Amino acid sequence: MMTLYSGITCPFSQRCRFVLYEKGMDFEIKDVDIFNKPEDLAVMNPYNQVPVLVERDLILYESNIINEYIDERFPHPQLMPGDPVMRGRGRLVLHRMEKELFSLVQILENSETSNKDQVKAREAIGNGLTLLAPSFSKNKYILGDEFSMIDVALSPLLWRLDYYDIKLGKTAAPLLKYAERIFQREAFIEALTPAEKAMRR
């Protein structure tokens, strides 16, 4: 059985919990307090971070790498596109998402970053998401008509917009509608921790 070491408010861990519930197989989630990390976390992950996935002698870290493994190990429903061209595009979008949005999320998650950096990060995330918003007028999901791993990867940020105090432009309505579509998925709801549920009322 797979075991996921997961932070109860960690957006990266939420991605992996979401995929585990989408697959509907047996797994175990171990909650990790990131302010009081267990000693074995640094043994499993040289960056000493969650999420970490353990399955027998396999230990994986990095949320997107964990999620691709789960997707290949349990192919139904398939969350990475089956077609190599679309899969290539999907990976590129994931890469850009990490570089342009989630590097800023990490600034907001790190209590040691300066207030000035946090303000700048909030503003840049708001602008980036507002630019992305019009594409959801024509597309149901990020890659088109099909829900995919790329939607999984973005969803923890969308869930935290109010919690992070991120302001979106007036043209962001299609993005918010898209976010609600993701939030209604059974697996999304099941994957939320009580602390994450409390982030939105």
Ligand X SMILES: N[C@@H](CCC(=O)N[C@@H](CS)C(=O)NCC(=O)O)C(=O)O
Residue 7 contacts ligand X per CB under 6 A:
yes
The distance of closest approach from Cβ of residue 193 to ligand X in the complex, given in angstroms and rounded to an integer, is 12
Tell me phi and psi for residue 97, to 5 degrees: -60, -40
**Residue tagged active-site, from 2, 4, 10, 60:** 10
Residues 114-173 that bind ligand X (CB under 6 A): none
Task: Choose between 3 and 106: whose C-beta lies nearer to ligand X.
Answer: 106
Separation between Cα atoms, residue 140 and residue 147, nearest integer Å: 8
Q: Which is nearer to ligand X, 63 or 148 (CB)?
A: 63
Answer yes or no: are the C-beta atoms of 55 and 25 closer than 8 Å. Answer: no
Size of site (CB under 6 A) for ligand X = 13
| CA diameter of the chain | 49
CB 73, min distance to ligand X, A: 18
* Shortest distance (Å) from residue 52 CB to ligand X: 9
Instruction: Report yes or no: 153 and 94 within 8 Å, Cβ to Cβ.
Output: yes
- 34-93 residues in contact with ligand X (CB under 6 A) are 34, 48-51, 62-63
Name which position in 2, 5, 6, 10 contacts ligand X (CB under 6 A): 10
Straight-line distance from the first to the last Cα atom of the chain, in angstroms, rounded to the nearest whole number: 34
> Phi/psi zone of residue 19: left (φ > 0), alpha (ψ -120 to 50 degrees), beta?
alpha
Candidates 7-15, 135-143, 144-152, 165-173 — which segment interacts with ligand X by CB under 6 A?
Answer: 7-15
Nearer to ligand X, 51 or 126 (CB): 51
Q: Shortest distance, CB of residue 110 to ligand X, whole angstroms?
A: 7
Sheet containing strand 58-61, edge to edge, reads 27-32, 2-7, 52-55, 58-61
d(CA 103, CA 95): 11
Rg (CA), the chain: 16
Check if 16 is active-site.
no
Return residues touching ligand X (CB under 6 A): 7, 10-12, 34, 48-51, 62-63, 106, 109
Q: Which residues are catalytic?
A: 10
